[in-house]
Amino acid sequence: MSSRFPTKGRIIFHVDMNSFYASVEAAYNPDLKGKPLAIAGNPEVRKGIIVTSSYEARAKGVKTTMPLWQAKDLCPELIVMRPNFDRYREASKNMFEMLAEVTPYIQPVSIDEGYMDITECADLGTPFEIAENIQKRIKNELDLPCSIGIAPNKFLAKMASDMKKPMGITVLRKRELATKLWPLPIDEMYGVGGKTAEKLRNINIETIGDLAKYDVYHLKSILGINGERLQNRANGYDPRPVDPDAVSLFKSIGNSQTLPYDTTDEREITKLLRSLSEKVAERMKRKTVVSENIQVMIRYHDRKTITRSHQLHDYVEFSEDIFNIASELFFSNWNGKAIRLLGVTAQQLTEKEEMTKQLDLFTYENEAKNENLYKVVDDLSEKYGKDVFKKSVTHEGNHSVSTSFQKDFLDDFKRD
């Protein structure tokens, strides 16, 4: 594949930006180049969490999701910055525009990675040459590093892009699975999370090769249909196409926030639930969708996490309705112990223009009665700012970072 195009089959690239947020900051401010840099949601609070870090920081042991205090202990000279999502969004948009000049078959999967199907691009050179040109252009014009995996399907391309970072280009052919893929530990396989890896190790599956050769019926008895799917991919089978339209699909809109300290204060919890509900409603309005299911996530001080949802008989879209449902869910399921994180998510979304809701008399009267109120609120918010009716305030220094920034980016990418 590195020397010529195959006569049959597909050629898929997985383009993965290296340490994207930190790399964008270093491109914006060259003084940061070569220094240990981390992006954290709240640098002023030692309980803040590392979002990403430069390779210089990673060399000192700094990892994503690591508490800030621990990262500072490992790397005292660590430079910590808040995320600048507008800056990252702009860099990502420029990167994907470059990819679109190569082929229209592009499927972004997050702000910093995406798939390309270059099967019909033989006139641009060999697959390896095309990858080199993409990598060089992104580096020269955006000053950003990326790794590219080249393979006959999406799974193998994803695995290949992870094999050499930063600035790597790796080809992974099916005939090379036994030497390149199968020796890898099972937890390095894309699609295998921590819990799944633990289940697989319990049945003596330590490597991807062990998974590829394991009895499929036993796998399905433990992991269900996902067991067979994972085994197929371990054997190099993945029929999923690169789908440019997939970026328009979103099933939920949610926000969560980690508290700067564990709390059992009901007033603080209520304020946070209201704030999260308002953010969810705001994003729903921007996406012009309504929801039939509201979910609350509760993470306790000991990291135990539960989720509870409520199926609705009608659609909701306004923050007050979301807040009322989320509050009822929380207080009916909270065990009274200290809370570390809260999340509110609107699920089962429907676009307004596709909604064929039939209003009964009671619903019609209530919505008609509130319609003028909603209009006044919107008009005043537009004139004086969206916080004019804010019913709660957050603690100073307690900044929330949207957990669905990636989803918002994908939707906006599709609309652009």
Q: List the single range of 118-122, 215-219, 252-256 with lowest mean pLDDT.
A: 252-256
pLDDT of residue 150: 98
Q: Per-residue confidence at 16, pLDDT binned at 50, 70, 90? A: very high
If one looks up domain 249-415 in CATH, what number appears? 3.30.1490.100
Helix (H, G, I), strand (E, B) or coil at 268: helix
- pLDDT (tens digit, 9 = 90+) per residue, 375-401? 555 555 554 554 444 443 333 333 344
- pLDDT (tens digit, 9 = 90+) per residue, 17-70? 999 999 999 999 999 999 999 998 776 655 678 989 999 999 999 998 888 999
Nearest Cα to Cα of residue 229 among 241, 212, 246: 212
8 A C-beta contact, residue 148 and residue 13 = yes
- pLDDT (tens digit, 9 = 90+) per residue, 259-285? 888 999 999 999 999 999 999 999 999
Q: Which residues in 341-372 are b (16+ Cβ under 10 Å) and which e?
A: bbbbbbbbbeeeeeeeeeeeeeeeeeeeeeee
Nearest Cα to Cα of residue 278 among 310, 330, 317: 317
Highest mean pLDDT among 6-15, 151-160, 360-369 belongs to 151-160
Q: Per-residue confidence at 252, pLDDT binned at 50, 70, 90? A: confident
The better pLDDT of the pair 290, 151 is held by: 151
Question: What stretch(es) of the chain map to CATH 3.30.1490.100?
Answer: 249-415
Length of the chain: 416
pLDDT at 314 over 90: no
Residue 169 burial by CB count (10 A; 0-12/13-18/19+): exposed, middle or buried? Answer: buried
pLDDT of residue 375: 54
Residue 382 burial by CB count (10 A; 0-12/13-18/19+): exposed, middle or buried? Answer: exposed
Highest mean pLDDT among 229-238, 365-374, 393-402 belongs to 229-238
- pLDDT (tens digit, 9 = 90+) per residue, 152-211? 999 999 999 999 999 999 999 999 999 999 999 999 999 998 889 999 999 999 999 999
Report how far residue 133's alpha carbon sits from residue 151's, in angstroms, rounded to the nearest whole number: 17
**DSSP-H helix ranges across 122-265:** 127-142, 154-161, 194-201, 208-213, 216-223, 225-234
- Topology (CATH) of 178-234: DNA polymerase; domain 1 (1.10.150)
Does 112 count as an annotated binding residue? yes
Q: Active site includes 113?
A: yes
pLDDT of residue 249: 56
Pairing state of beta strands 339-351 and 252-263?
A: antiparallel
Does 16 count as an annotated binding residue? yes
8 A C-beta contact, residue 118 and residue 134 = no
DSSP code of 253?
E
Helix (H, G, I), strand (E, B) or coil at 10: coil
Pairing state of beta strands 79-81 and 106-110?
A: unpaired
Prediction pTM value: 0.66
Q: Per-residue confidence at 415, pLDDT binned at 50, 70, 90? A: low
Both tokens of residue 240? 């999923």
Portion of the chain with pLDDT greater than 70, in percent: 80
pLDDT of residue 405: 57
Any bridge partners for residue 307, and if so which? 297
Composition of the chain by helix, strand, coil, percent to 5: 45, 20, 35
- Topology (CATH) of 12-20+86-175: Alpha-Beta Plaits (3.30.70)
Question: What stretch(es) of the chain map to CATH 3.40.1170.60?
Answer: 30-83
Q: Which of 25, 113, 278, 317 is catalytic?
A: 113
Question: What stretch(es) of the chain map to CATH 3.30.70.270?
Answer: 12-20+86-175
Instruction: Reply yes or no on domain 30-83 having CATH 2.60.40.2470.
Output: no
Report how far residue 194's alpha carbon sits from residue 111's, in angstroms, rounded to the nearest whole number: 24
8 A C-beta contact, residue 87 and residue 24 = yes
8 A C-beta contact, residue 55 and residue 38 = no
Helix (H, G, I), strand (E, B) or coil at 48: coil
Handedness of CA 25, 27, 30, 36 (dihedral sign): positive
